[in-house]
Amino acid sequence: MKNLTVAAPAKLNIFLHVTGRRDDGRHLLETLFVALDFGDTIEVTRREDDAIRRVGGWQGVAEEQDLAVRAACALRSATGCSAGVDLRVIKRIPVGSGMGGGSSDAASVLLALNRIWDLRLPRSRLIEIGSTLGADVPFFILGEPAFARGIGDVLRPVTLPPMWIVVIAPAVNVSTAAIFAAPQLTRNTPSAKMDVFSEGYGRNDLQEVAAARHPEIGTALAELRRHSRHARMTGSGSAVFASFASGELARNAVLATPPGMQGFIARALARHPLAAFA
């Protein structure tokens, strides 16, 4: 196999609690991840030489910093593989939205190259490699909705009911590092006592800090809360979301998207599109 076109789905954090901090300064989290049937597309083409190149597509970040390129380099370094690849990333996930675009791109590249380069690595090994690229990457490789602890890398698959989800993404790029560094951030939310979560459970501990720095987030939340009292921000922002029991309710809610913001409807995925690749 020489060519593959693969999906890199967006994710939401249904809730996100900061429960503490490790000695190395990284934050301890508890979160519920779900992937969406909305995201980026990546065209993966095996090369005849050993070059790893990004061709065309999104140029919003330097090639050497692009997580898709870094994923290919990390996989080759971990396996000793000498094959090359061309990567074209077609971006749809808003940058800085808290929807995991870069991490999802990295995971889909690892999964696709596992097949194109005929490496036959087990999912557990791909997760190990992915964890060196970012804390969200293991979730996308796992391939199912998951409750996460640690820095987001200790995962337990969960089953979630079907959901229609409305997402509103303001046109702002939120810095994850800046939000986690904020002195106002809550860092001592009590740990969940059980892995069973009702609708509306929890909150996003990063939301207050992000909304204070980016008023557009508060505007999006206010509009979406006209239709759901459970609307909240995902990840470190800036996108906000709410789930609905039917497509009709979701269609009514997406009409609340303020001018200048991106609003769309998505379905929660029970399985990652590339779940069979490892």
Tell me if residue 11 is catalytic: yes
DSSP structure string for 143-208: -S-EEEETTTTEEEE------EEEEEE-S----HHHHHH-TT----PPPPSSS---TT-S-BTTHH
Q: How many CB atoms lie within 10 A of CB 65?
A: 9
**Of 268, 257, 212, whose CA–CA distance to 237 is shortest?**
212
With H, G, I as helix, E, B as strand and everything else as coil, classify residue 27: strand
CB distance 103 to 234 below 8 Å: no
Q: How far apart are CA 116 and CA 233, in angstroms?
A: 36
Catalytic residue, from 11, 66, 105, 205: name it: 11
- pLDDT (tens, 9 = 90+) of the chain, 278 residues, equals 799 999 999 999 999 999 999 989 899 999 999 999 999 999 999 999 999 999 987 777 889 999 999 999 999 999 999 999 999 999 999 999 999 999 999 999 999 999 999 999 999 999 999 999 999 999 999 999 999 999 888 999 999 999 999 999 999 999 999 999 999 998 999 988 766 677 788 999 999 999 999 999 999 999 999 999 999 999 998 999 999 999 999 999 999 899 999 999 999 999 999 999 98
Catalytic pick among 40, 105, 136, 205: 136
Residue type (1 letter), 46:
R
CA dist., res. 250 & res. 253, Å (int): 5
Residue-wise pLDDT tens digits, 7-20: 999 999 999 999 99
Please say if 195 is a catalytic residue.
no
- 118 burial type by CB count under 10 A (0-12 exposed, 13-18 middle, 19+ buried): exposed
Enumerate domains of the chain plus CATH numbers.
3-158 (3.30.230.10), 164-267 (3.30.70.890)
Q: Are strands 240-244 and 232-233 parallel, antiparallel or unpaired?
A: antiparallel
The model's pLDDT over 150-179, given as tens digits with 9 standing for 90+, comes to: 988 899 999 999 999 999 999 999 999 999
